[in-house]
Structure 1
Amino acid sequence: MAQTKRTDHQRVGAKGRQTEQTIKDAARKVFARDGYLNARITDIADEAGKSPATLYNYFDNKKEILGALLEDFLEYVLDEGDDAEPLDEYTSESLRSAVATFWRAYTEFIPELVGVTHAATTDPDFVQVWMQIREVGVRKIGARIKILQAEGATDPNLNPYVAASALSSMLEHSCYLWLGTNAQGTGRPASDDQAIDTISYLWSHALGITEPRSDGPRRART
């Protein structure tokens, strides 16, 4: 993960942490408005109401700021994962819950997740950062696929982690298109529920989790 300059501002206590958060909040706004690749340190400083010199007391460049924001995202995902369903309860409902959790996380962290996608096109370091973030989800999904294989629900010849990476890619890119870029056109879901239900349905059937819902098919909310 890209490292930030934590030593100096941790020494100044609560005021320093507040200033750091102000800078990160400003960066999120600038990344959302201008895109990570077009964002400038001076724009972030202006948005934060700070001088560029103050900003440089905390971060060397926008790369370090994005790295700090991605650390916050990873911490959020790990905290959410603490409340996840146990591995032996991987049903269509718990699967939908897992998809919805990532969808909510992406919605909450759009500037940084779109930012790392764009940054990875020009900076190999961010390819590794994104792979580290993906690793958390891919390993969890892969572990659940192994259990489904042992239960006879999923093809035992399937590599569980390759399958997990493929399923995760479906979710990630759908979030990028529908949330990150707000792409319009054929196939765009009418609501968050429709997007989550569709992805969950495809995952469930790909993995052999096909028990019917007690309440019948879920309808997209309007």
Structure 2
Amino acid sequence: MPEPAAETGGASGGRTRVDRRRETTPQRLREAARVVFERDGFHNARLSDISTEARVGSGTLYNYYRSKHDLLYELMKGISAELTGIAADRISAQQDPVHRIREVNRVYVKAFQRNARVLQAVYQARGEDERLKAQWEEVADHFQSRVTRAIADWQKAGLAYGDMDPRHTAHALTLMVERMVMAWSYEGVEYDAEVLIDTLNKIWIRSLGLTSTAEPHPGTAPRPVTE
């Protein structure tokens, strides 16, 4: 007895249900991987658990991803774009620096918290996979370089203390935020979200000598500029 023809739809140009299912399979696998990584962490996550969560066979999973490192790498692409997009859109020395610091830190902390368990998995696995290590460092470098330039610009404008090295200061401030949010998000340290964000903002603003009116700090001379 001949097999029935696969269902087609005129509007879809002859694509079958199987075709449409195949198109959505990678996304389903990534969503399932996120569930498993958030629940079990990287080291305890198993590909069999991911395929079960996605309701596909193990063979289907291997058609798209060869390892859990591959799946985590794909998940981190989206998270990296989300995090680096924050600084690209909001840090600007051309606008009130106090307002920008408050806005960026709030958005960053919320985004980190939203993706905390996947970021924890990346942190756990980055020593085993150069791609994951590079992704983690890319996010850190992105923030540090932008904050370095912003501090230098604020110093030139006489808005920030001029006797602090922009690069070292940027690294200290961004690493402080990263470390505190990591401790809060997945190391069991209890912080109130609003108090945490407010405290981070005050440390940034006061350590740089900024004012809420974006006027030159009293007694502060612009940092000498070296070409």
Normalised TM-score (structure 1):
0.79
Q: What's 1:195 paired with?
A: 196
Match of 1:218 in 2: none
Residue identity opposite 1:151 in structure 2: A
Q: Does the Cα contact within 8 Å between 2:93 and 2:154 map onto a contact in 1?
A: no
Q: For residue 4 of structure 2, what is the aligned residue in structure 1?
A: none
Q: Deviations over 1:140-173 (max 9, x none)?
A: 1111111111123434343322221221111111
Task: Map 1:176-191; keep pairs closer than 5 Å.
Answer: 176-181=182-187, 183-184=188-189, 188-190=190-192
Contact 1:29 1:111 in 2 (8 A): no
C-alpha change, 1:194 and 1:118, in structure 2 (3 Å) is: same
- Unmatched tracts of structure 2, length 5 or more: 1-17, 214-227
Task: Look up the match of 1:18.
Answer: 24
Name which of 161, 178, 181 aligns with 1:175.
Answer: 181
Query: In the alignment, which residue of structure 2 is the partner of 1:152?
Result: 158
DSSP-derived class of the 1:129 partner: helix
Q: Does 1:142 align with 2:148?
A: yes
> 1:203: Cα distance to partner?
0.8
Q: What root-mean-square deviation, in Å, do the aligned CA atoms of Structure 1 and Structure 2 show?
A: 2.4
Q: For the pair shown, which has the larger CA radius of gyration, 1 or 2? A: 2
Q: Secondary structure at the match of 1:87?
A: coil
Cα deviation, residue 34, structure 1: 0.9
Letter in 2 for 1:70: M
The separation in 1 between residues aligned to 2:19 and 2:90, in whole angstroms, is 34
Q: Who is 1:86 aligned against?
A: 92
- Taking the TM superposition and a 5 Å limit, the aligned residue runs for 1:50-65 are 50-65=56-71
Deviations 1:26-53 (A, max 9, x none): 1111111111122111111111111111
Picking from 87, 102, 108, the partner of 1:102 is 108
Query: Which amino acid in the other structure matches residue 18 of structure 1?
Result: T
Q: Which amino acid aligns with 2:113?
A: T
Query: Equivalents in 1 of 2:168, 2:96: separation in Å?
Result: 18
State how far apart, in whole Å, the 1-side matches of 2:199 and 2:152 are.
23
Q: Does 1:74 align with 2:83?
A: no
The verdict on how the C-alpha distance between 1:108 and 1:18 changes in structure 2, with shifts beyond 3 A counting, is farther
Distance 2:151 2:96 in 1: 9
CA distance in 2, matches of 1:138, 1:166: 9
Residue 37 of structure 2 corresponds to 31
| Conserved 8 A contact 2:98-2:211 | yes
User: Which residue number in structure 1 is paired with residue 207 of structure 2?
Assistant: 206
One-letter code aligned to 2:76: L
> What amino acid is the match of 1:211?
S
Cα deviation, 1:50-78, whole Å, max 9, x if unaligned, reads 11111111111111111111110122234
Q: Deviations 1:92-148 (Å, cap 9, x if unpaired)?
A: 222110001111211221232111111124445433221112121111111111111
Residue deviations 1:175-203, cap 9 Å, x none? 1111133x13xxx322x211111111111
Distance 2:132 2:40 in 1: 19
Percent identical among aligned pairs is 26
